[in-house]
């Protein structure tokens, strides 16, 4: 993260909330509360601390050179920025998620194609009034009686009648 202020992206919590499925609602709420707490803390801290009035202290403090010394050291002091260790992990997670979600979408599309196919088959079926038993066994293979496994009538286990 270069620079002190990485721009905070505005997050549309409402839209985010819409996309959360009900099983993950608790996790979403936890994330939101944490986010809100952090932003409240950030807002309560001033961006820059107020400037120290060196002129007043120079006149007020009797010890010679103390104030000058402090001033020199103070302006020379560089507060280290906190090092960002987690953004890389988040980016890695995002890549992982992109990959798994692409796979999921693939699988989902395959499932949809399968459903569409079956739907097409069901929709284009001839009405039952015009079917013969052969047509029925073609349309619904599970209705076919297995004459090899059960050679005697009724060609299915008695419990299934």
Partner 1 sequence: QHRRCELFLFPPFCNTLNGLFLTIYRLLHAKRTFHASQQCSAPLPPLPEKPGQVRYGLIPEEFFQFLYPKTGVTGPYMLGTGLLLYLLSKEIYVINHETVAGASILAVLIYVIKKYGATVAAFADKLNEEKIASALAVKNDAIKDLETAIEQEKKEQWRVEGRSYLFDAKRNNIAMLLEANYRERLLTVYNEVKKRLDYQVAMQHLKRQKEQDHMIQWVEKNVVQSITPQQQKESIAKCIIDLKALSKSAHATA
Binding site for partner 1 (CB under 8 A): 1, 4-6, 8-9, 11-12, 15-16, 18-21, 31, 34-35, 38-39, 41-42, 45-50, 52, 57, 60-63, 66-67, 70, 74, 77, 79-82, 84, 86-87, 90-91, 93-94, 97-98, 101, 104-105, 108-109, 111-112, 115-116, 118-119, 122-123, 125-126, 128-130, 132
How far is 51 from 83, CA to CA, in rounded Å?
26
- In the complex, minimum distance from the CB of residue 146 to partner 1, in angstroms, rounded to a whole number: 20
DSSP state of 6: P
Q: Are 54 and 71 in contact (CB under 8 A)?
A: yes
- In the complex, minimum distance from the CB of residue 152 to partner 1, in angstroms, rounded to a whole number: 24
- In the complex, minimum distance from the CB of residue 141 to partner 1, in angstroms, rounded to a whole number: 14
- In the complex, minimum distance from the CB of residue 150 to partner 1, in angstroms, rounded to a whole number: 23
- Locate 95 and state its tokens: 């890549």
How far is 9 from 116, CA to CA, in rounded Å?
40
Contacts of 157 (CB under 8 A, 6+ apart): 150
For residues 13 and 156, which CB has a smaller minimum distance to partner 1 in the complex? 13
For residues 26 and 98, which CB has a smaller minimum distance to partner 1 in the complex? 98
Q: Are 28 and 20 in contact (CB under 8 A)?
A: yes
For residues 82 and 151, which CB has a smaller minimum distance to partner 1 in the complex? 82
The radius of gyration of the chain's CA atoms, rounded to the nearest angstrom, is 36
- In the complex, minimum distance from the CB of residue 116 to partner 1, in angstroms, rounded to a whole number: 7
Where on the phi/psi map is residue 65: left (φ > 0), alpha (ψ -120 to 50), or beta? left
């Amino acid at each position: 993260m270069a620079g002190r202020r990485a721009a905070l992206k505005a997050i549309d919590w409402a839209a985010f909330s819409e996309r959360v499925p009900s099983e993950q609602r608790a996790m979403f709420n936890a994330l939101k509360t944490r986010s809100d707490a952090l932003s409240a803390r950030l807002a309560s801290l001033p961006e820059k601390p107020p400037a120290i009035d060196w002129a007043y202290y120079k006149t007020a403090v009797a010890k010679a050179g103390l104030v000058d010394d402090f001033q020199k050291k103070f302006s020379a002091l560089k507060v280290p920025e906190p090092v960002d260790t987690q953004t890389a992990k988040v980016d890695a997670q995002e890549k992982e998620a992109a990959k798994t979600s692409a796979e999921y979408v693939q699988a989902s599309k395959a499932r949809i194609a399968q459903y569409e196919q079956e739907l097409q088959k069901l929709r284009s079926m001839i009405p039952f009034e015009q079917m013969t038993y052969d047509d029925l066994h073609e349309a619904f293979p599970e209705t076919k009686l297995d004459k090899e496994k059960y050679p005697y009538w009724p060609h299915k286990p008695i419990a299934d009648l």
